[in-house]
Amino acid sequence: MQMIYLIENQIVFNPEDNSLSLPSDTESKITVSNPARRILSLLIEQHGIVVERETFFKKVWDDYGLTASNNNLNHCISKLRKVVSTLGYTGEFIITVPKVGFIIKKETDITAQFELNVAQERTEPPAEETSSLPEITPSDLPHNETQATPAPLHEPVGQSETLTDTEKINYKYPFIFTTFLLFSFAVWGLYTLHGVMTDPKARLQVSKIGDCDLYSTAPVSMSRKQDFIQLAQNFILKNKMTCTPGNIFVFQSEQFTTPINTGSVRDFMAQCSTNDTHKINICISYYANDRTTHDKF
- CA distance linking residue 39 with residue 73, whole number of Å: 9
**Percent of the chain whose pLDDT exceeds 90:** 35
Residue scoring higher pLDDT (263 or 132): 263
Do residues 20 and 87 make contact, with C-beta atoms less than 8 angstroms apart?
Answer: yes
Taking the C-alpha atoms of residue 148 and residue 145, their distance in angstroms, rounded to an integer, is 9
What residue type is assigned to position 91 of the chain? Answer: G
- CATH 1.10.10.10 maps onto the chain at 2-114
Residue 37 confidence (pLDDT): 96
Q: In what order do the strands lie in the sheet with 280-290?
A: 205-209, 212-216, 247-253, 265-274, 280-290
Q: How many Å apart are CA 273 and CA 205, to the nearest integer?
A: 16
Amino acid found at 31: T
H-type helices in 87-164, by residue range? none
The CATH number of the domain covering residues in 2-114: 1.10.10.10
CB atoms near residue 144 (< 10 Å)? 6
pLDDT band at 200 (very low <50, low <70, confident <90, very high): low
Residue type, 58: K
**List of residues 6+ apart from 116 with CB closer than 8 A:** 1, 201, 215, 250, 272, 280
Q: 58 φ, ψ to 5°?
A: -75, -50
**pLDDT score, position 15:** 94
The CA distance from 155 to 2, in Å, is 78
Half-sphere exposure in the Cβ direction for 113 (13 Å, CA): 17
CA–CA gap between residue 133 and residue 252 (Å, rounded): 59
For residue 19, what pLDDT is reported?
95
Burial class (CB in 10 A: 0-12, 13-18, 19+), 75: middle
Region 182-200: mean pLDDT is 62
Average pLDDT, stretch 193-200?
Answer: 52
pLDDT at 130 > cutoff 50: no
Orientation of helix 70-86 relative to helix 34-45, angle to 10°: 80
- Looking at residue 296, its amino acid is K
DSSP state at residue 222: G
C-alpha to C-alpha distance for 234 and 57, rounded to whole angstroms: 35
- Tens-place pLDDT, residues 12-29: 999 999 999 999 888 899
Bridge partners (DSSP) of residue 266 are 289
Q: Please, are residues 13 and 40 in contact by the beta-carbon 8 Å criterion? A: yes
Say what the pTM is. 0.43
Beta bridge partners of 283: 272
Instruction: Answer whether residue 119 shows pLDDT above 80.
Output: no
Q: Looking at the predicted structure, is the pLDDT value of residue 123 above 80?
A: no
Provide Rg for the chain, Cα atoms: 33
Give the model's pLDDT for residue 120: 41
Walk across the sheet containing 19-22 and list its strands.
25-31, 19-22, 11-14, 2-7, 110-115
